[in-house]
Amino acid sequence: MAKEVTSKEENYSQWYNNLVVKADLAENSAVRGCMVIKPYGYAIWEKIQGQLDRMFKATGHQNAYFPLFIPKSFLSREAEHVEGFAKECAVVTHHRLKANPDGPGVVVDPDARLEEELIVRPTSETIIWNSYKNWIKSYRDLPILINQWANVVRWEMRTRLFLRTAEFLWQEGHTAHATAKEAMEEAQRMVQVYADFARTHMALPVVVGHKSEHERFAGALDTLCIEAMMQDGKALQAGTSHFLGQNFAKAFDVKFADKDGKLDYVWATSWGVSTRLMGALIMAHGDNNGLVLPPAIAPIQVVFVPIYKGQEELDRMVAYMKDIASELEKAGISTKIDDRDNVRSGFKFAEWELKGVPVRVVIGPRDLERGEVEICRRDTLEKSAASREGLAGHIKELLDEIQANIYNKALAFRDSKTVKVDTWDEFKERIEEGGFLLCHWDGTTETEMKIQEETKATIRCIPIDSYVCEEPGKCVYSGRPSQRRVIFARSY
């Protein structure tokens, strides 16, 4: 095979990078930390986007678009927020270039300096709440349930394709409410939408929980998240939903009159997922042959590869495949016929395995005569024969089975790598093996930081589903009393 992938047992990190590049998902660009998302990678992102967008609209949200730039002074309005983002942002200082007076090329025109510098949005709370100020007068204007699909920039020092890039694509929901209760419910609703999407469509068995105070979003009173486990046992935060209290309303002076005319600050949430989900997808399901895409988000669900000798046979196979493909398309299944005549079938098999297409259908002249096709499923690599008759129905069932199998495999893996740990010695030993450690914690940031310093493990979340953690015990580090277990893990 031309495009060989490093095995994940040999070098997990290299395996990941290999998959991203060799499956044509993305590549590094000439701009430090900024990636190019290639057509196949973008097609997967479009599937993710499309499904999430439907789920957002079904829960009453509308899309809108706010400016890319944020005036520098806006960022400072919310103290924790600026602390969280000021150190890693792209700053626009000028609005014009001019011919280089000392040689070829262009230079920044010093006369075109902006009065106030603009920040390329790292997240949009500030610019959005500055708009909401004009939109909200009374309780009748609430709730505001808005989502934005956008690019954002955070000047990360160490970047990795999809997982951590300077520019990334995401969606950010920003809602405004009359009561704290309603805003908290919204933050919870949206983290559950994320969990539902991750489980049902991406086949990721995520854990839903609260972040510790230390891990919260800069400016939030509570951060909910979904955490997924990768195949090296590390955790990956796949989405967050924040209850922002009245912090941004206070920073931007956004008040509303209630039914009795009494003024109060508005309550807020924000929530987002990003192209980081692509990284989760690859690392949770991929194998040494390449990607393994859950059918629900595979841009191509079934690929057809003809076996033939000579042009006449190729034409005959392709015509036959077109018939079948159109039957499948009618049943809502996306297909592709690989009719290239300049590469061998074995090369095609390897390439579509690399790209994670859930089902491969192979047909040669003898299959045609017998009214049969060969089917190979990507998740197990198992081959079987199937009858031409009723094939669409059979494949539809198979796709459902593959979707369920990918999820169940990831779930079984996660459970096999999740352990309750009650002593500090065991903690230090088990954390080296990866996985989720369910431990008691005394609730202090001090302990959390010490554990991180000694083991690089962080609290991924205080789970609200997936695990029964409500039991009294003693902190695994300090021995102080604790009411529930939390998840510790090393993470991306």
Residue 31 within binding range of its own copies, rule CB under 8 A: yes
Question: Among residues 7, 63, 416, 483, which is the contact residue for its own copies, using CB under 8 A?
Answer: 63
Question: Among residues 13, 64, 371, 450, which is the contact residue for its own copies, using CB under 8 A?
Answer: 64
Q: Which amino acid is at 223?
A: T
Angstrom distance (rounded) from CA 389 to CA 391: 5
Helix (H, G, I), strand (E, B) or coil at 372: strand
Residue 160 within binding range of its own copies, rule CB under 8 A: no
User: To the nearest whole angstrom, how small is the minimum distance from the Cβ of residue 349 to its own copies?
Assistant: 20
What is the distance, to the nearest Å, from the Cα of residue 184 to the centroid of all Cα atoms in its chain?
23
DSSP state of 490: -
Q: Which amino acid is at 399?
A: L
User: To the nearest whole angstrom, how small is the minimum distance from the Cβ of residue 364 to its own copies?
Assistant: 25
* Residues belonging to the chain: 492
Residue 76 within binding range of its own copies, rule CB under 8 A: yes
User: To the nearest whole angstrom, how small is the minimum distance from the Cβ of residue 72 to its own copies?
Assistant: 6
Asked if 338 and 348 touch (Cβ cutoff 8 Å), the reply is yes
Question: Among residues 16, 56, 74, 492, which is the contact residue for its own copies, using CB under 8 A?
Answer: 74
Residue 365 within binding range of its own copies, rule CB under 8 A: no
CB-nearer residue toward its own copies: 34 or 419: 34
Label residues 39-76 b or e (16+ Cβ within 10 Å = b): ebbbbbbebbbebbeebbeeeebeeeebebbbbbebbe
Angstrom distance (rounded) from CA 302 to CA 304: 7
Question: Among residues 3, 6, 38, 345, which is the contact residue for its own copies, using CB under 8 A?
Answer: 38
What is the contact mask toward its own copies in residues 338 to 357, using x (rule: CB under 8 A)?
----x---------------
CB atoms within 10 A of CB 116: 9
CB-nearer residue toward its own copies: 39 or 310: 39
User: To the nearest whole angstrom, how small is the minimum distance from the Cβ of residue 282 to its own copies?
Assistant: 17
Residue 88 within binding range of its own copies, rule CB under 8 A: yes
Asked if 304 and 211 touch (Cβ cutoff 8 Å), the reply is no
Residue 251 within binding range of its own copies, rule CB under 8 A: no
Residue 70 within binding range of its own copies, rule CB under 8 A: yes
User: To the nearest whole angstrom, how small is the minimum distance from the Cβ of residue 84 to its own copies?
Assistant: 12
The beta-strand segments (E) located in 133-262 are 144-153, 167-177, 207-210, 222-229, 235-245, 255-257
DSSP string, 202-236: S---PEEEEPPGGGS-TT-SEEEEEEEE-TTS-EE
Name the segment binding its own copies (CB under 8 A); options: 7-15, 36-44, 242-250, 253-261: 36-44
CB-nearer residue toward its own copies: 332 or 479: 332
Angstrom distance (rounded) from CA 298 to CA 47: 7
Asked if 401 and 390 touch (Cβ cutoff 8 Å), the reply is no
User: To the nearest whole angstrom, how small is the minimum distance from the Cβ of residue 168 to its own copies?
Assistant: 10
Residue 82 within binding range of its own copies, rule CB under 8 A: yes
The crossing angle, in degrees rounded to 10, of helices 39-58 and 276-285 is: 110
Q: What tokens does 368 get?
A: 């045609």
Residue 302 within binding range of its own copies, rule CB under 8 A: no
Question: Among residues 54, 87, 214, 383, which is the contact residue for its own copies, using CB under 8 A?
Answer: 87
Q: Any residues with CB less than 8 A from the CB of 470 and at least 6 apart, and which?
A: 483, 484
Residue 383 within binding range of its own copies, rule CB under 8 A: no
Residue 69 within binding range of its own copies, rule CB under 8 A: yes
Find tokens 């009359």 and name the residue. 178
Asked if 214 and 267 touch (Cβ cutoff 8 Å), the reply is no
User: To the nearest whole angstrom, how small is the minimum distance from the Cβ of residue 312 to its own copies?
Assistant: 23
Which residues, numbered 103-122, are part of the site for its own copies (CB under 8 A)?
A: 104-106, 108, 117-120
Name the segment binding its own copies (CB under 8 A); options: 90-98, 392-400, 408-416, 471-479: 90-98
Find tokens 């924790």 and name the residue. 80
Question: Among residues 46, 80, 315, 465, which is the contact residue for its own copies, using CB under 8 A?
Answer: 46
List residues near its own copies by CB under 8 A.
27, 29-31, 34-39, 41-43, 45-46, 62-76, 82, 86-99, 104-106, 108, 117-120, 127, 130-131, 134, 140, 146, 150-151, 153, 155, 167, 169, 342
